Amino acid sequence: MVMDQNSAATRQKLIEAAGHVFSVRGFHDATVREICLRAATNVAAVNYHFGDKLGLYTEVLKYSLMAHQEPAQNGSVALSDPQSALRALVGEWFERAREGGRPNWFPRIMAHEMAQPTPALDRVAEAIRPNYLRFSTLVGKLIGRAPTDAQTRMCVHSIVGQIVHYMQSRAMIARLWPELDLNDAQQRRAIADHIVSFSLAGMEKLAAKKRCAGHARRGRTQ
């Protein structure tokens, strides 16, 4: 038991240290030695817990990405009421937009990853896929289409894009809109509410369009 706790702590320490080192050096230039020095563990610990550098890097990416994936899992609970499920999900996701909601090395790692994707991105995408599907199902329910339908996917990315924008382009938004303070719970709430009502109206329109098209088709066949 004590042994397990120790090993979990070591694992966590390694992920934190690796996150920092990868964010500064990038995947290719980072060395396991430096990470271990920072985490105050021996080099063998990396091999034991993660296999190799790529394994460790994958875990770091997953750790930081999955931190905001949890809400999607909760969202699957209330599929009977997709509207309020969406509301809860976006609100919760946005809660993580505040400073300190995520390790501060996360954006830098993502920058490296977008510049030169490593095989780790494939693995992380696989880890995200179940949540992506759950979210697609939820959105599909709202517009009355299949989760893999192109319309559903476009709606999913319209919502995700709006949320992620506040995190990905934070530095630019801070300069263009200095009054915005995402550390203020009330403002965070207001933006999350806006995104939900904006998106719900957008999806309602698409659903209505589909209904109209359906009526028209039925009218023609009759």
Partner 1 sequence: MNLSQQRRRHVRRTDLVGVGGLIMLLGGAALFAFGADYPSWPVWLFAPLVWWSGSGLLIAWAILRFLTSIVSSDTDDSKFKHWLREKVIGIAGKVFAEVGFDEATLREIAERAGIHVTAVNEHFGDKLGLYTEVLKSSIMAQQQPVQNAASGNPADPQSALGVFICDWFERAREGGRPDWFAPIMAREMARPTPALDRVAEEMGANYLRFRTLVGQVIGQDPNDQRTRMCVHSVVGQILHYMQSRAMLARLWPELDLNNAQQRRAIADHIVTFSLAGMQNIAVQEAKSTAGGQS
| Site of interaction with partner 1 (CB under 8 A) | 107-108, 110-111, 113-117, 121-122, 125, 128-129, 132, 150-151, 153-155, 157-158, 160-166, 168-173, 175-177, 180, 190-191, 194-195, 197-206, 209
22: Cα within 13 Å, side-chain hemisphere: 32
The span from the CA of 118 to the CA of 112, in Å, is 9
Closest to 60 in 3D by CA, of 3, 114, 20: 20
Which residues 6+ apart lie within 8 Å of 143 measured at CB? 151, 152, 155, 203, 206, 207, 210
- Closest separation between CB of residue 128 and partner 1, Å? 7
Least gap, CB of 174 to partner 1 (angstroms): 9
Choice between 9 and 211, CB closer to partner 1:
211
The single residue listed with the structure tokens 């190799």 is: 52
Contact 15, 63 (CB under 8 A): yes
* Shortest distance (Å) from residue 42 CB to partner 1: 30
Q: Which is nearer to partner 1, 78 or 180 (CB)?
A: 180
Question: In terms of CB distance, is 9 or 111 closer to partner 1?
Answer: 111
Decide whether 78 or 200 has the Cβ nearer to partner 1: 200
